[in-house]
Amino acid sequence: MTDVDLLVAGGTIVSTRGRQRLNLGVTEGVVTYLGPERPPAAQVVEADGLLVMPGGVDTHVHLMDPGSTEREDFPTGTAAGAVAGVTTIIEHAHGRPVRTVDDLLEKREYLKNRSAVDFGLAAHAWPGSTEVVADLWAAGICYFKLFTCTTHGVPGHSPAALKAHLEATARVGGVSLIHCEDESLTDAAEQVLRAEGRNDGGLLFEWRNRDAEVVAAAVTGIIARRTGARAVIAHVSHPEVAEYVGRERADGAHLAAESCPQYFLLREDEVLEHGALRKFTPPARMRSSRDESDMWDLLRRGALTHISTDHAPSTLEQKADGDLWDVHFGLPGLDSTMPLLLDAAAREQITYEDVVRVYSRNPARTYGLWPRKGELIVGADADFVLVDPAVRWTLRNEDVISKAGWTPFHGREITGRVVRTYLRGALSARDGEAVASSGRFLPGPGASAPF
Ligand SMILES: [Zn+2]
C-alpha cells in the first residue's frame, strides 16, 4: 500500500449517505485513502469511539476585518470557528464592503496569515452597479450579497434593481445571497413605533415584522425564477418563508434557503428580557416547541437547504451602548453553531448525516467549493473533525473565543463535542484550544471561467 502522512484509524466516518467504520489516510493535505486497510503512516491518530466528519463550511460570516476590529477580527473569529469544528468560511463585512476587483485583491492581500480556516470572500452588490458583476465573479468572489432593504449602511435593492442584478449574474453563472425584508413595510412600522415613542424590546419584532420578510422573500423568489439566476434566501426565520421558497423551487427557480441556529432555538419574546442581546434581523420568531419542531422538520426534509451562523458579533459593552434603535444588529455564532447542530443530532431532531449535509456539503456545493470542500472523499482537502458524540458539556460565555465574549446560548447543555479539528491534514484545534494554523484564500467558482 502507498504510504500516507496521516492515518485516522478506527473512527466512524459520517457522510450524507450514512456512517461507516473506515480508516482515513491523508497525504499532503488531501484525502488519499478511505477504506478498511491500515496503510503505513508517518503519524497515526486513533479515533475509536469517535465520529469523523467533514469540517464545517460556514458560508455567512462577518469578521469586521479590516474595519470594526473592536467587534471581531480574522484571528479571533476564525480561531473560534476552528475550535468549534469549522474549517472553511465565506466572509463579508458591511462596514468595509468589497465592491470592486481592486477591493477584493486588497482584502485578500491584507488577510494573508490572518485566518485559521480556509476562506472565500463575498462582494456587496450596490443597486444599479451591475457593470462590475462579471469582473467580480471572474476575479473569484464566492457570491454577491444583496439587501432588499437599506441595512447596516448598505443600500437596499428595489425589485427593479434586484432584477437587473440577477440578470447580470445569470449571464455569468454567479450566485447571490439575498437578505429579504421589504423596506416599505419595515419603514412604515418604524414610523409608527417611533411616533409612539417605543423603546422596549417588543419593538424589534414589530419593526422587523414577518410580513416584511415574507413579501421580500416571495418577490425575490419570483425574480430569481424569471431571470434564471442562482440565489440564496439568507437567514430564513420561520416556516412560511421556506414555503414560498419551496413553491418557487418547484416551479424551477434555482433557489437555496439558508437558516441559522437562532431561528430554531431562540424565542421571539426573549428580546423583551434581553433587549439588545437579541437584536438581530430578521429577529427570532419561534413562539412554541411546535414552531421549533416545524423548523427541524424543514431542515431534515431539505426545504431549508443549509445552516450558517450569520456571525456578526458585538461585545456586551457595545450591545449596551445606546438604546435598542441604535445598537448594532447581530449575534456571535461561530463558537456555538457546530455544537448546537451536534446536540440536535444527539437529541434526534436531525441526524449526524444531516449535520454533514447542512453545514458542510450543501453550503460547499451552493458556492462552488465542493468537492474540494464539504465532503470526505478521496481527492478532497483533508478538512475534518473528530467528534465525541457522548460527552456532555455546557456552552458558557467564559469559553467564547470570539471577541464578542458572550453567546445567546449561555447555559445550554450540549451533548457531543468536537475534540480535534484538522485543516488540510494539520491540527487546527484540540480540546477547546486553537492550534496555530494557516488558512488559505479560496477563489470562487467563477475564477477560472472565461469572460
Ligand atoms: Zn449577515
pLDDT per position as a tens digit, 357-369:
999 999 999 999 9
How far is ligand 1, taken at its centre, from the CA of residue 330, in Å? 8
| Statement: residue 424 has pLDDT above 50 | yes
| Closest to 308 (Cα-Cα) out of 57, 55, 54, 14 | 57
Q: Rounded distance, CA 183 to CA 93, Å?
A: 21
Distance of alpha carbon 196 from the chain centroid: 36
Q: How far is the CA of 91 from the centre of ligand 1 (A)?
A: 9
Q: What confidence category does residue 108 fall into, taking pLDDT thresholds of 50, 70 and 90? A: very high
Residue 151 DSSP symbol:
B
Instruction: Output the average pLDDT for the chain.
Output: 97
User: Quick check: 109 pLDDT over 50?
Assistant: yes
The CA–CA distances, whole Å, from 155 to 24, 209, 215, 315, 360 equal 47, 19, 18, 26, 31
For residue 10, the CA-to-ligand 1 centroid distance in Å is 39
* Residue among 138, 159, 141 nearest 149 (CA): 159
Question: Residue holding cell 415584522?
Answer: 209
284 C-alpha to ligand 1 centroid (Å): 14
Grid cell in block for residue 231: 440565489
| Percentage of the chain modeled with pLDDT above 70 | 99
Taking the centre of ligand 1 as the mean of its atom positions, its distance from the CA of residue 97, in whole angstroms, is 12
Q: Is the pLDDT of residue 399 over 80?
A: yes
Gap from CA of 60 to ligand 1 centroid (Å): 6
* pLDDT class of 449 with cuts at 50, 70, 90: very low
Q: Separation of 16 CA from ligand 1 center, angstroms?
A: 26
CA pair distance 214, 248, nearest whole angstrom? 13
Task: Please identify which residue in the block is written with the cell numbers 441604535.
Answer: 326
How far is ligand 1, taken at its centre, from the CA of residue 311, in Å?
Answer: 7
Q: Is the pLDDT of residue 439 over 90?
A: yes
Ligand 1 centroid vs 30 CA: distance in angstroms? 31
Q: How far is the CA of 42 from the centre of ligand 1 (A)?
A: 42
First-to-last alpha carbon distance for the chain, in angstroms, is 44
Mean pLDDT confidence for 283-307: 97
What is the Å distance from ligand 1's center to 266 Cα? 17
Rounded to the nearest whole angstrom, what is the distance from the C-alpha of residue 217 to the centroid of ligand 1? 16
CA of 442 to the centre of ligand 1 (A): 20
Distance (angstroms) between ligand 1 centre and the Cα of 235 equals 8
Distance 380 CA to ligand 1 centre (A): 28
Q: Is pLDDT above 60 for 94? A: yes
Distance 143 CA to ligand 1 centre (A): 13
How remote is the CA of residue 332 from the centroid of ligand 1, in Å? 11
- Determine the pLDDT at residue 152: 85
- The model's pLDDT over 174-196, given as tens digits with 9 standing for 90+, comes to 999 999 999 999 999 999 999 99
Alpha carbon of 24 to ligand 1 centroid (Å): 35
Q: Kindly indicate the confidence band of residue 451, based on its pLDDT and cuts at 50, 70 and 90.
A: very low
The confidence score (pLDDT) of residue 181 equals 98
Q: How far is CA 412 from the centre of its chain?
A: 21
**The CA-based dihedral angle spanning residues 172, 370, 31, 341, taken in that order and rounded to the nearest 10 degrees:** 150
Predicted confidence at residue 450, as pLDDT, reads: 37
pLDDT at residue 1 is higher than 90? no
User: Is residue 142 within 8 Å of residue 368, measured between CB atoms?
Assistant: yes
**Beta sheet of 254-259, edge-to-edge order:** 123-124, 144-147, 175-179, 230-233, 254-259, 306-307
Number of other CB atoms surrounding residue 433 within 10 Å: 10
d(CA 267, CA 288): 8
> Mapping DSSP to helix (H, G, I), strand (E, B) and coil, where does residue 74 land?
helix
- Per-residue pLDDT tens digits for 210-224: 999 999 999 999 999
Residue 153 has what pLDDT? 87
CA of 21 to the centre of ligand 1 (A): 37
Q: What is the 3-state secondary structure (H, E, C) of 92-139?
A: CCCCCCCCCHHHHHHHHHHCCCCCCCEEEECEECCCCCHHHHHHHHHH
Closest to 418 in 3D by CA, of 364, 352, 358: 352
Cis omega (within 30 of 0) for bond into 75: no
Ligand 1 center to 130 CA (angstroms): 21
**What's the pLDDT tens digit per position in 233-288?**
999 999 999 999 999 999 999 999 999 999 999 999 999 999 999 999 999 999 99
